[in-house]
Amino acid sequence: MEYRIEHDSMGEVKVPADKLWGAQTQRSHENFEIGVGIETMPAEIIHAFGILKKAAAMANNELKKDKMTDEKLDAISKACDEIIEGKLNDNFPLVVWQTGSGTQSNMNANEVIANRGNEIAGKKLLHPNDDVNQSQSSNDTFPTAMHIAAILMLEDKLIPAAETLIETFKKLEKENEGIVKSGRTHLQDATPITFSQEISGWRSSLERDVELIKLSMKPLYELALGGTAVGTGLNAPKAFGETVAKKVSDLTGKPFVTAINKFHALTSKDELVFAHGAIKALAADMLKIANDVRWLASGPRDGLGEIFIPENEPGSSIMPGKVNPTQCEAVTMVAVQVMGNDVAVGIAASQGNFELNVFMPVCIYNFLQSARLLSEAILSFNKNCAVGIKANKEKMHHNLHNSLMLVTALNPYIGYENAAKTAKKAFKDNISLKEACVELGFLTEEKFDEVFHPEQMV
């Protein structure tokens, strides 16, 4: 491998000749061999750095043109556009498990933009610190990248995924109107419900989760950029925070604003904790829905068997013909991962000491993993399972009329205690509710038939 010599304030460093990063990136790459090639800084953060570095250059060009000339802005902007487009991703090798401020990832961006910008300009025009990092600090750029990445992930990926499944459930509701089945509470038989009502519960849960996620996004639109090292804005021009937030908003089409209190923005991660809580709520509902689906589809002969789901792949290496609810299992595993990530995000957010939180990479790594996995799991579940759900009407009808809890309809006519006696006798003697009620003398056959209509109990 060929190398070139780069230098920083600590001296010279050998860097692979075909890479755009510089000395500080190389030092971090060598000093933190933890999860190399596997747990690298998320691509969403790199994308966000491209946006914020371009926005910062635009703001500097507007506020102090003598320092950020049009020529420098042009070179930085073009390099940032390539980062935003993902063209330079192989120049960001650093792992999550680095400095807790994300300083080396900020410098990774600075160095790549400076070196690529110089290539574009055809001369030594840009310095990573003096130009690309102008009016900034790692302490305000990394939390800014976190918020940008979080908003883009939630608004452009997770919410649309949930809304896709919501639309599928709406369609299933219409298709299954009027089909009455047994309800279940405590995993025991309960009073009747229509299948469309059951599906509406799933749909409404997801709609509420989307509402909660949207509510949690409002604080994430606030950006720390402009606080620099400790929140005072040292070395940044007046109105830099407001100006750069407007530029980020223009570049993304999202309503980003500058954080009201930069001291809070640098040290507290409560906005991410709150938003991840909403993600966890969605994961909890998805786990519930996936479990409902696999319970209802259990069988094919010895389970509930009230619905059919798509058969996607063989389910056993030893039992021929076995097919398993694999999409449901994938969703539940992702939900478990999200719940574990929620603990990590919360603990990371608690580690703000004085003017800075130094658990930021692990915080955003888990946040983005949760949103990414959950959105992809929802889309997979929708495509490979939910759209193919079919009611087993015969089994639903059988289970409904075999349920002892239909006796609840008799409460107004024979009272709670007599209804309980009827249900227990029917279960003990393995006879119908009608037979039990008549044998106990509570109702005549004619009166029973007059008042007992399971399909009207919904």
CB atoms under 10 Å from CB of 66, counted, come to 5
Mean pLDDT for 392-409 is 95
| pLDDT per residue as tens digits for the range 88-126 | 999 999 999 999 999 999 999 999 999 999 999 999 999
What is the chain's mean pLDDT, rounded? 97
The answer, yes or no, to whether residue 202 has pLDDT greater than 90, is yes
Looking at residue 406, what is its pLDDT? 95
Within 8 A by CB and 6+ apart from 10, the residues are 23, 27
Looking at residue 1, what is its pLDDT? 87
Mean pLDDT for 324-347 is 98
CB atoms under 10 Å from CB of 40, counted, come to 18
C-alpha to C-alpha distances, 68 to 54, 120, 130, 408, 419, nearest whole angstrom: 12, 17, 10, 78, 84
Give residue 46's pLDDT band: very low, low, confident or very high (50, 70, 90): very high
Mean pLDDT for 359-369 is 98
Mean pLDDT for 281-295 is 98
Looking at residue 370, what is its pLDDT? 98
Stretch (H or E) spanning 272: helix 270-296
Give residue 421's pLDDT band: very low, low, confident or very high (50, 70, 90): very high
The answer, yes or no, to whether residue 137 has pLDDT greater than 90, is yes
In angstroms, rounded to a whole number, what is the distance separating the alpha carbons of residues 271 and 56?
23
Looking at residue 270, what is its pLDDT? 97
The answer, yes or no, to whether residue 348 has pLDDT greater than 90, is yes
| pLDDT per residue as tens digits for the range 242-263 | 999 999 999 999 999 999 999 9
Looking at residue 435, what is its pLDDT? 96
Catalytic residues: 186, 316
Is residue 108 a contact partner of residue 25, using CB atoms and an 8 Å limit? yes
Looking at residue 36, what is its pLDDT? 95
3-state helix, strand, coil in the chain (%, to 5): 60, 10, 30
- Tokens describing residue 433: 């509710």
**What is the pTM (predicted TM-score) of this model?**
0.96
Mean pLDDT for 40-66 is 98
Report the alpha-carbon angle 370-374-378, nearest 5: 175
- Tokens describing residue 443: 């109702």
Of 52, 173, 175, residue with least CA distance to 105:
52
The answer, yes or no, to whether residue 230 has pLDDT greater than 90, is yes
Stretch (H or E) spanning 188: strand 188-194
Mean pLDDT for 400-415 is 95
The answer, yes or no, to whether residue 400 has pLDDT greater than 90, is yes
